[in-house]
A and B are shown apart, each in its own frame.
Chain A
Amino acid sequence: TVGAVALDKEGNLAAATSTGGLTNKRWGRVGDTPIIGGGNYARNGNVAVSATGMGELLMRCTVAGDIAGRMQYGNASIDQACRDVIHGDFLSLGGEGGVIAIDADGRVNFELNCPGMYRATVNEKGEALVAIF
């Protein structure tokens, strides 16, 4: 799965996620990627989220929507919301994966509960910051 979250100069948030799904999947299996609130969510003044990981559990935990709700209604910071969701029910139910998120002020957060996530952002100088492990 791949994804991106962005905040533009107008203050608009957006999220995009795309995937080939699960190797050896059958029966028209659909994961979290196209499920709004599962693997993808964006709301101005709140947060944009794109998820990757075990799709069925990301759906059952409505991971992207849960992060947004904790921030909107619980006043959680982006770091706190992402950490509590990825290391909360999602992990306790056996879910592995992570999210990228960006808030209304442009703060970026990467949260994962597994050994690695291919990820990148851009620093203030316009240089790419890339990490894997």
Chain B
Amino acid sequence: MTRPFSIAIHGGAGTIERSLMTPELEASYRKALAQSVMAGHAVLEQGGSSVDAAVAAVTVMEDSELFNAGKGSVLTHDETVEMDASVMDGRNLEAGAVTLIRHIKNPIQLARDVMQKSPHAMLAGEGAESFAFKECGYEYVEQDYFFTDRRYNELKTMKKTGGVALSEARYPDEKKHG
């Protein structure tokens, strides 16, 4: 008898304006969410670990510019991206986290490597990226890869208002938090 396996994902929460969600945009989100959860499900179905399943699902969303992670991440005040990620393995309470990442395509994969290939639980900024390049063979990714016009426009709006919470709802989820 096969033991149960299961997966769930999220792509962020907040004020998502239904009136601004066009059928085309909603279809894009639904397609990306389905791709993500099915990527994780496939890992589990084939007998893979829950860690690898969760990382596979998150990787799909990092590669989609619809979500605030990886490609399509929001911009800082200095018009850069700074990304954070973490993984925790319930089997042994091991954990890996990275913060202030700027040149790694998939921070979630680096978080898993911090957990599995370093003696540490969290690495930050230049040190984390040095670990990625020198110890794990990651490719250096230019900031341009992560940029989207949508996020640049959001940043310009926020600079005018001087805040950090999204307040102009030209996009259905511009008030989405994190």
A114 in contact with B14 given A18-B83, A23-B166, A43-B93 (CB within 8 Å): yes
A24/B159 in contact, CB under 8 A: yes
B73/A133 in contact, CB under 8 A: no
A24 in contact with B50 given A18-B83, A41-B88 (CB within 8 Å): no
Interface pairs A-B: 4 shortest CB-CB: A20-B73, A118-B11, A116-B16, A13-B90
Q: Is A6 an interface residue (CB 8 A)?
A: yes
A77-102 Cβ-contact flags toward B at 8 Å (1 or 0):
00000000000000000001111111
B121-145 Cβ-contact flags toward A at 8 Å (1 or 0):
1101100000000000000000000
A8 in contact with B18 given A20-B72, A117-B13 (CB within 8 Å): no
B9/A4 in contact, CB under 8 A: yes
Distance (whole angstroms) from the CB of B80 to the closest CB of chain A: 10
Distance (whole angstroms) from the CB of A133 to the closest CB of chain B: 6
Distance (whole angstroms) from the CB of B163 to the closest CB of chain A: 7
10 A-B pairs in the complex with CB atoms less than 8 angstroms apart: A4-B55, A6-B54, A13-B50, A20-B68, A22-B177, A114-B15, A114-B177, A117-B13, A121-B9, A128-B34
Q: Is B120 an interface residue (CB 8 A)?
A: no
A100-119 Cβ-contact flags toward B at 8 Å (1 or 0):
11100111101010111111
A6 in contact with B155 given A18-B83, A128-B33 (CB within 8 Å): no
A4 in contact with B40 given A12-B91, A30-B84, A97-B177 (CB within 8 Å): yes
Which single member of A18, A41, A132 contacts B21 (CB below 8 Å)?
A132
Q: Is B113 an interface residue (CB 8 A)?
A: no
A121/B7 in contact, CB under 8 A: yes
- For A119, list chain B residues within 8 Å (CB): 8-11, 33
Query: Which residue of A has the minimal Cβ distance to B44?
Result: A8
Distance (whole angstroms) from the CB of A46 to the closest CB of chain B: 7
B178/A18 in contact, CB under 8 A: no
Distance (whole angstroms) from the CB of B120 to the closest CB of chain A: 12
B73/A6 in contact, CB under 8 A: no
Which single member of A1, A34, A41, A108 contacts B12 (CB below 8 Å)?
A1
Distance (whole angstroms) from the CB of B41 to the closest CB of chain A: 5
A19-59 Cβ-contact flags toward B at 8 Å (1 or 0):
11111111011111111100111111010101011110000
A8 in contact with B70 given A52-B178, A130-B34 (CB within 8 Å): no
